Amino acid sequence: MSQTNDREKIASVTIYEEDFYASKETSEESFQILAFRLSQEWYGVNVSRIKVVNKIQPVTYLPFAPVSISGIINFRGDMMSVTDLKRILGLPDSEMTETARLVVVESGPCATALLVDQIDEIITVPVSQIYPKLETIAPQIAEYIEAGCKSGKKLLGILNVERILQRNQ
């Protein structure tokens, strides 16, 4: 009888130790950001807002569209606008290259394909390493950037997808 009681005590202590150590673990919340290049600057979009990343396809010009809209594409049978972020952010135009991509983003019922020069990588950024947007950014551009972060030696402006979609409406 005493051996059974000893085993029960040992088992309960082991379970307690496992629970004790498990409760000591703390994990900081983090975001996954898709980093990409526009001209010579680096930006990012929260991966939760991205539907798909595609190679460039023919863009049909859309008369009377806002300046930031390059045109429309056929995306899985639906027409979708293509947003040129360089026009929104006041960056110089550049030639389309093999590395250019369309990043389809959505928020609620709204979606658009963002035209980017080059995809870098998906990075995981802890909340503590995301900082507020810089105060030195021009006000007309600052409304499209919600925060910043660092990835290696690159500083990224994290874009406000909702604000970009509002502009296109």
- Nearest residue to 99 (alpha-carbon basis) of 38, 59, 58, 55: 55
- Nearest residue to 112 (alpha-carbon basis) of 39, 62, 40: 62
Task: Please spell the DSSP secondary structure of 119-151, one letter per residue.
Answer: EEEEEEEEGGG-BPPPTTS-HHHHTTEEEEEEE
Q: Write out the chain's pLDDT in tens, 169 residues.
A: 555 555 555 555 544 445 545 544 557 788 899 999 999 999 999 999 999 999 998 999 989 888 889 999 998 888 999 999 999 999 998 888 899 999 999 988 889 999 999 999 999 999 888 998 877 888 888 899 999 998 888 889 999 999 998 876 6
Q: Do residues 151 and 37 lie in contact, with contact meaning Cβ atoms separated by under 8 Å? A: no
Domain residue limits, the chain: 30-168
Q: Does the domain at residues 30-168 carry the CATH identifier 3.60.40.10?
A: no
3-state secondary structure of 29: coil
